[in-house]
Amino acid sequence: MEKITQIEQLREKYQRGNVFIDKCPSRKVLNHVTSRWGVLVLIALADGERHRFGELRKKITGISEKMLAQTLQTLERDGFLTRIAYPVVPPHVEYQLTPHGHTVTQKVAVLAEWIEDNIFDIQTIQHHYDDLQTQRE
């Protein structure tokens, strides 16, 4: 209850978070959402369907089981996805975006799509930069 009271006091004092302030909790959430795995998990769930852990692991190549589990737990705690556990043997768990999850996913998906659309230009710029750095050495 004490944490809820603190949150209400902060809400009254400030209208919104400020990611430029190092102790603002919005910075942690920003880190969760924009981490490499956070973005990919959100986008993998963007279709609105429920997905099992194994499906997500296959879709997001390169992610370890441990990192996927941690990312799912973090995003669930932040309120961006729901974990649905069915009481069966073997365990059957599915994940689905919440309304907040859909909203934030729309935002990060635009960024990811822009990067995909511009990756060849970005790589050309990177190579040019690297060549200049090599010439300066």
What does pTM read for this prediction? 0.86
Quick one: DSSP state of residue 48?
A: S
Domain 35-136's class?
mainly alpha
Q: Supply the mean pLDDT for the chain.
A: 93
How far is the C-alpha of 39 from the C-alpha of 31, rounded, in Å? 10
Return the pLDDT at 107.
96
Strand pairing category for 92-97 and 81-86:
antiparallel
**CA-to-CA dists, residue 85 to 52, 59, 136, angstroms:** 10, 21, 57
Beta strands in the chain (DSSP E): 51-52, 81-86, 92-97
Return the pLDDT at 94.
97
For CA atoms 74, 77, 81, 82, the dihedral sign is: positive
